[in-house]
Amino acid sequence: MTPTQILLISLWHMIANMDRRIGLAYMLRYPLISGIVVGLILGYPVEGAMIAATLALAYFGIINVGGSVPPDFLFGGTAGTALSIEMLSLVGGDASTAIAVILPLIIPLSVLSAQVWMFSHAISVVPLHMADKWALNLETGKMAMANALMVVFYALIGVAPLTLMLFVGPTVAATALQVIPSWLMAGLAVGARVLSMVGLGILLSLQYKHSTVGFFLLGFFFAAYLGVSMIGITIIAATLIGVIYYVTTERG
């Protein structure tokens, strides 16, 4: 990666991070979207989309419950896609091989990145108490300024581990690729696919309904036995949704 590409990826990471903090909620921080953008920046749009989809499956079902600190999936999607594409450009191979090398590295690093967020939240207590005093004095301008500055602060704190990883990560991953034996690499590839299926299973367990399981099985049938592509299945699903909506609304 060139310094310009690292700068662009870092800027994208900051934008995706600020998205939810300013109330837009365009879901930019999720691995599928952030990874696709990274692929476009690095000039590998197709591979970026494939890698981002795998990472999205791995991070499916991650939610913040109570005081728990889930892995930073924005970091995972951005850094994971960038490093996987870097592996493709350095040593060749396909997207599945690259993600097999990077995923075991990215998962624990995304957990560490989440701890950086906790550190930034601890620091944010100071301006929050200042905002309390401004609120008592009805100084809304200062409150708005403090909020805007904290949004930028969070973005800068969050992008720091990503930028560091983009500079040193490719070298570490390339070294690991040379050291890891072929049999272990094959095992990592299988593990990466299994981890994706675990994420998909978690998502299904959260969204499972008896009334919709038939559609899931129908999509599986089209993909596994008829060889229909994902685009084809999406078109079929959209058509079924349109027909069902038309029939139900007409009866109503």
Domain parsing of the chain, residue ranges: 3-124+154-208, 209-252
Average pLDDT over residues 173-183: 67
- At residue 180 the predicted structure's pLDDT band, cuts being 50, 70 and 90, is low
Strand, coil or helix: what is 6?
A: helix
Longest dimension (CA), the chain: 68
- At residue 252 the predicted structure's pLDDT band, cuts being 50, 70 and 90, is low
CB 154 within 8 A of CB 120: yes
Report the alpha-carbon distance of residue 171 to residue 165 in Å, rounded: 10
pLDDT at 156: 81
* pLDDT top residue among 128 and 224: 224
With a pLDDT cut of 70, the percent of the chain lying above it is 72
Count CA atoms within 13 Å of residue 52 on its CB side: 22
With a pLDDT cut of 90, the percent of the chain lying above it is 0
Assigned token pair, 50? 């494939």
Residue 44 has pLDDT above 80, yes or no: yes
pLDDT at 214: 82
Report the alpha-carbon distance of residue 191 to residue 128 in Å, rounded: 44
Residue 247 has pLDDT above 80, yes or no: yes
- At residue 215 the predicted structure's pLDDT band, cuts being 50, 70 and 90, is confident
Average pLDDT score over the chain: 76
- At residue 54 the predicted structure's pLDDT band, cuts being 50, 70 and 90, is confident
* pLDDT top residue among 87 and 196: 87
Report the alpha-carbon distance of residue 157 to residue 162 in Å, rounded: 10
pLDDT at 200: 67
Report the alpha-carbon distance of residue 197 to residue 223 in Å, rounded: 16
Residues 6+ apart with CB under 8 A from 188: 100, 101, 103, 104, 180
pLDDT at 28: 76
Residue 23, Ramachandran bin (φ over 0: left; ψ between -120 and 50: alpha; else beta) = left
Residue 65 has pLDDT above 60, yes or no: no
List, for residues 23-43, the tens digit of each pLDDT value. Answer: 656 677 778 888 888 889 988
